Amino acid sequence: MTLDLLRLQPDEAERIAYAEGFPMAAQLFARIEELEAQVDHLRHVLQNAAESLDYAAMVLEAPTRSAMREDLKAAWDALE
């Protein structure tokens, strides 16, 4: 039976890759897990920024608010 490591969570795939004698593949899965954690952190930061922007937007002119929202949305979309 063939096991598709790409369908597993990175930490599971890492353990199996080490167990099966593929240390370099295991290191790649570990790195994927680290990068996913960083992306989650950045999403959280952007969400907090969006909430702060909503508050700040109440005192700004509509065109400025709209431009700032577009920039934030572009940053958010780039992470997905």
| Confidence at residue 76, expressed as pLDDT on a 0 to 100 scale | 84
Residue 29 near residue 10, CB atoms below 8 Å: yes
pTM above 0.95, yes or no: no
**pLDDT bucket at 63, cuts 50 / 70 / 90:** low
**pLDDT attached to residue 52:** 84
Please report the beta strands in the chain, taking only residues with DSSP state E, as ranges in sequence order. none
Helix crossing, 10-19 with 23-57: angle to 10°? 170
pLDDT at residue 8, rounded to an integer: 94
Q: Give whichever of 25-29, 55-59, 72-76 has the largest mean pLDDT.
A: 25-29
- 15 close to 51: Cβ distance less than 8 angstroms: no
Q: Among 47, 40, 29, which Cα is nearest to 80's?
A: 40
Task: Give the pLDDT score at 16.
Answer: 95
